[in-house]
Amino acid sequence: MQIGILGGGRVGVSLARRWTAAGHDVTISTRDTIAETAADKDVVLLAVPAAAVGEVLAAAGALEGTVVIDATNNLSGGPDGAAIAAMASRAHVVKAFNTVGNTFISGPIQVLNYSYFDKEFPETFRTAMQIRESIEKHGWKKVVAFQTRNPMHRAHEELVRMAMDREKADGAVIHMLLGKLKPGDIPADVRDAAIRKMVELYFPPNTVEITGYGFDMLYAGPREAVLHAVFRQNMGATHLIVGRDHAGVGSYYGPFDAHHIFDEIPEDSLETRPLKIDWTFWCYKCGGMASARTCPHDDADRLLVSGTKLRKWLSEGAEVPAEFSRPEVLAILREYYEGLAAHERVEVKLSGHSAR
């Protein structure tokens, strides 16, 4: 696809990189090449300050029949989306990426309700302030937080234990997402039961809090990892575990993009610190769970543990290696899958990092 980008700022350059990586032919304009960049393109991206839109569209020409993606915002003045569509009336204008209006509302915040979360998950749902109070009650000073949308398999268990040992943490908060997931993921009540059983049997008493929060998974990769760090800072955690492909989907993000973003934001922008943890796996020679940091052995001696593989085996009724999950957790998960009708089962495909 031939794509012309009008504007060489952050939005234009970022999208150019993505589109080029996807195999498209991308050109970014300069002030002197606007008409040339826009001519004979399948798609034109408009990514200039809103105040400059009139001048840029005039230089671009008619753009007749061209798909124009309007990525401008008019927060500092200039035409809005409707006005820009009128200026390029012979093009097919689509508003995207910057869709925030120029009106802001401020004032005290009052929570009217917590949707269904506090009613359906009374033992698990907690607000940030409630979690802070619980941490203070325990007397914990250094607290590791673990974000999960899955039942915890052996690699997850090892991540929490490894993080607590590394930071000499007083306790850990397993903070599970209770909102909507993608088809085929395991529902919150089953995850809750599985995680509670694992903590009950395999962690010392009074070292782990199990809580949940009402939020839908966004699958926004590194940016969502930063959002998760803000959530955990609000609830009083000093550290957030950031593992492989945090908040990712398929192979869209790199396996450690969520690590790198914390090196790009200002150092003092967060009080909660990321704990960047490498691949975790079962090592047959070590005789247990390990990470790339702790294990000296080759890939042939390692079994990579992933939630996607576990869901695939469970959904197909296949045997699950003992190294993947605790037997008591597997019993809970098998009961759930055995109770699904045929039309409720979703085919789980391995892709990206999970296919390794």
Active site residues: 149-150
Q: Rounded to an integer, what distance in angstroms lies between the CA atom of residue 173 and that of residue 48? A: 44
Distances (CA, A) of 151 to 157, 297, 305, 310, 329: 10, 28, 13, 10, 8
Rounded alpha-carbon distances, angstroms, from residue 18 to 3, 252, 254, 257, 288: 12, 10, 13, 14, 39
* Contact partners, residue 39, CB within 8 Å, separation at least 6: 4, 61
CB proximity list for 356: less than 8 A, separation 6 or greater: 304
List, in sequence order, every beta strand (DSSP E) within the chain: 2-6, 25-28, 43-46, 67-70, 92-95, 143-148, 171-177, 208-213, 239-242, 273-276, 280-283, 288-291, 302-304
Longest dimension (CA), the chain: 70
CA-atom Rg of the chain in angstroms:
24
- The alpha-helical segments, DSSP class H, found in 210-349 are 221-234, 257-264, 307-315, 327-338
DSSP-based three-state secondary structure for 282: strand
d(CA 288, CA 303): 10
Helices (H), 187-273: 188-202, 221-234, 257-264
Rounded Cα–Cα distance for residues 306 and 292 (Å): 15
